[in-house]
Chain A
Amino acid sequence: MNYDYSSLVVPQREEELAAFDWQNFMPSKITRGKRCFSIVDEGTGIEGKFIARTAFIHGEIQGLVFAEHVTVEKTGIVHGVIFCRTLCIIGHVKANVVCDNVFIRDGGLMSGALKYKTLKIESDAAITGKFERRTLVSDQDSQGWAAETALAGI
């Protein structure tokens, strides 16, 4: 099925983030009612934009991951930016992340800037970087995030 990727843009400002409608996120919309997911296998690398409804990442991605549900598996590595609704980290994420619900499991590593609504971290996970709860985001900081994603070329 063809669809227009150009209409998929990562929200840059906090008000845009708050207004983002995952119900109308195109990959989710066109696969509604179906069991659809994408797997980036171990040994597979992607450089650029990875857009999906549900993504299981065992390989390595450098760039943007834009999906409703993302799981970075034990062997998975993501560098760049992740924008998603739910994120489960068992592998390594070295990225700027904007997400509603984040779950960092044992063995998971999150390094970078994280903006979240709910956060759960298991005791053998590791985190470093700048964390921020999105309900508490100030306008000044949302501009900072916009600058970060702009610098990432996304």
Chain B
Amino acid sequence: MAEHDKNDGAIFIGAGVELKGEVTVPGVASVDGKFEGTLKAKSLIVGPSGHVTGQISVDTAEVRGTVADHLVVQSNLILRSTGSITGTIAYSKVMVEEGGSLAGTIEKIAKASAADGEHKVVPLHAGE
């Protein structure tokens, strides 16, 4: 996964913790519990026990647990062998380990400009 600035704020949702709502994270969002809602982050790490559902928009994602609904990954999406992603998925680069489950509508998006550090979300096509 990409290296992150130590000053970037991060959130860790531990196993057994459930969080619902809208969250913006400048750094890493690490989920071993449950998250439901809208999440914008630089990086998403979903542990084997992690469940994430809702509108997720991140630069990079590494999934060992489950992610459902809408996932937009501007850069690298890594689905590990224990991971599962369902719903509408948009990515720039994707890697799936054998055993990972990918189901839903998948599209490739143009990578955001390197000069533009701001997080951009490319809207998914409605109805797909």
B23 within 8 A of A: no
Scan residues 102-117 of chain A and give those whose CB is less than 8 A from a CB of chain B. Answer: none
B57-108 residues with Cβ-Cβ distance < 8 A to A are: 76, 79, 93-108
A128 proximity list for chain B (CB < 8 A): 106-108
- Chain B, residue nearest A103 (CB): B98
Task: Compute how far the CA of A127 lies from the CA of B103 in the bound complex, rounded to whole angstroms.
Answer: 12
A130 touches B98 (CB 8 A): no
Q: Are A121's CB and B94's CB within 8 A?
A: yes
Please give the number of chain B residues whose Cβ is less than 8 angstroms from any Cβ of chain A in the complex: 18
Please report the C-alpha to C-alpha distance between residue A21 and residue B104 in the assembled complex, in whole angstroms: 27
Alpha-carbon gap, A125 to B93, bound state (A): 8
Q: Is A133 part of the binding interface, using a Cβ–Cβ cutoff of 8 Å?
A: yes
With contacts A126-B108, A127-B106, A127-B108 known, is A133 near B101, CB below 8 A?
A: yes
The reply to whether A119 and B96 contact each other, CB–CB distance below 8 Å, is yes
Select from chain A the residue with minimum beta-carbon distance to B81: A120
Query: A121 touching B96 by the CB < 8 A rule?
Result: yes
A2 part of interface (Cβ distance < 8 Å): no
**A130 with B105, Cβ < 8 A, contacts A118-B99, A119-B100 known:** yes
Binding site for A on B (CB under 8 A): 76, 79, 93-108
